[in-house]
Amino acid sequence: ILNVEQSPQSLHVQEGDSTNFTCSFPSSNFYALHWYRWETAKSPEALFVMTLNGDEKKKGRISATLNTKEGYSYLYIKGSQPEDSATYLCAFKGTASKLTFGTGTRLQVTL
């Protein structure tokens, strides 16, 4: 069983705050790391797929970094808005393993 952990489990910030959370995954046999955004009552929406150590990806105010050697990825949100409220999931794909999701970080942004 692969260990894909996300922290914190939940986060409550105010509008305008910048925030970040972590996904930890096995540091061996890395193939790809996915980030998804999952709003309540909707289905997961892909944010990034990252494959190379040192990768940095950006989509609007959201960005992500990847360190495959130490087995972690950070997701950053700059200037959080209420519409950013969602659960952010990471998923790890190893060279010989299926895609395994973390349990997510639930973000709530209030005015």
Partner 1 sequence: DAGVIQSPRHEVTEMGQEVTLRCKPISGHNSLFWYRQTMMRGLELLIYFNNNVPIDDSGMPEDRFSAKMPNASFSTLKIQPSEPRDSAVYFCASSLRRAAGTSGGVPYNEQFFGPGTRLTVL
- Positions touching partner 1 (CB under 8 A) are 31-32, 34, 42-46, 48-49, 51, 89, 93, 98-104
Q: Is 43 or 111 the residue whose CB approaches partner 1 more closely?
A: 43
Cα separation, 4 vs 105, in Å, equals: 12
Residue 80, SS3 per DSSP = coil
Q: What's the min distance (Å) between Cβ of 94 and partner 1?
A: 11
Is the torsion defined by CA of 49, 42, 72, 20 positive or negative? Answer: positive
8 Å CB contact between 25 and 97: no
13 vs 49 by CB, closer to partner 1: 49
Please identify, using beta-carbon distances, which residue of 85 and 100 lies nearer to partner 1. 100
